Chains A and B, each alone.
Chain A
Amino acid sequence: MILRPGAKVNIPSDMAHSFKGGGLWDSLSLTSLPGRMFCVYPSTKTYFPHFDLHHDSEQIRHHGKKVVGALGDAVRHLDNLSATLSELSNLHAYNLRVDPVNFKLLSHCFQVVLGVHLGREYTPQVHVAYDKFLAAVSAVLAEKYR
């Protein structure tokens, strides 16, 4: 989902309550997210040749915290994703140059982790809100690629 320049993330306000702040994001073992992605999609490991990729390594946990922190920031600034993620967008465009297909892979694993932790509470309505959010974040991260 590519956002038009200047477009806002159009998540209906009644879905906004599904984005619980603080508690949910702190309690989830989202630091395990990169590890799950590396296991399920081994090709994603090619971007981390410098990492200790053993299960649950300190580097993986640390990176997971960074990713979750950035997503937490994004969730708190839904109306201004481009500005909020501007530095990360620069980093991915000019430095990391991660192929955008991988944003979908990480997003999917993020949703699986949400499903694991929220169970029945991960209703279709919550699911679609997060899916739109992650698609919007992915679009912003790739918006300076060319």
Chain B
Amino acid sequence: SCVCLCSCLPLSRLLIVYPWTQRFFSAFGNLSSPTAIIGNPKVRAHGKKVLTSFGDAVKNLDNIKATYAKLSELHCDKLHVDPENFSLLGDILIIVLATHFKREFTPACQAAWQKLVRVVAHALSYKYH
């Protein structure tokens, strides 16, 4: 239910808070304003894809590098994404979780999620060369 509720939010928030990240999405159409970004169907669809993939990490905590090997190669060789962006998105996801879970998002809870996003970012950049 967390995925359904939050799925498109982290990506759209990333594109709004750090507008230079829009450089990877020139084929997505209208990104000219926060309203345009939030309403953009390609952003919504891709945001959901990204979060679903994140869910794979949660299901494969003991094997994250292998889980993300192909995606890592894709982001390096085809998409040419600076791995710094993985950390940016990870921190945005955490802030979205904070707004959703509010008081339940305790420091201990945040610490666990920070570890997870750090591990995912590392796995996604692991195959870079």
B114 near A118: Cβ-Cβ < 8 Å: no
A112 near B17: Cβ-Cβ < 8 Å: no
A124 near B110: Cβ-Cβ < 8 Å: no
The one of A39, A117, A128 in contact with B107, judged by C-beta atoms closer than 8 angstroms, is: A39
User: A64 to nearest B CB, angstroms?
Assistant: 13
Q: With a 10 A CB-CB cut-off, give which of B13, B17, B107, B114 has the most chain A CB atoms.
A: B107
Question: Main SS of the interface on chain B?
Answer: helix
The one of A35, A39, A131 in contact with B17, judged by C-beta atoms closer than 8 angstroms, is: A131
In this complex, the interface size class of chain B, counting residues with CB under 8 Å from chain A, is 20 to 34
The one of B16, B34, B110 in contact with A36, judged by C-beta atoms closer than 8 angstroms, is: B110
A127 near B111: Cβ-Cβ < 8 Å: no
A120 to B101, CA, bound (A): 10
What is the number of contacts between chain A and chain B, taking CB atoms within 8 Å? 60
Interface size on A, residues (CB 8 A): 22
Contacts A40-B114, A119-B99 given; indicate if A124 touches B12 (C-beta within 8 A): yes
B78 at the interface (CB under 8 A from A): no
B69 at the interface (CB under 8 A from A): no
The residues of A with any CB-CB pair to B shorter than 8 Å are: 35-36, 39-41, 108-109, 111-113, 115-120, 122, 124-125, 127-128, 131
User: What are 24 A-to-B residue pairs whose CB atoms are below 8 Å?
Assistant: A36-B107, A36-B110, A39-B111, A40-B107, A40-B110, A40-B114, A41-B114, A108-B94, A111-B95, A113-B98, A115-B96, A115-B98, A119-B99, A119-B102, A122-B95, A122-B99, A124-B12, A124-B13, A124-B16, A124-B17, A124-B38, A125-B16, A127-B16, A127-B17
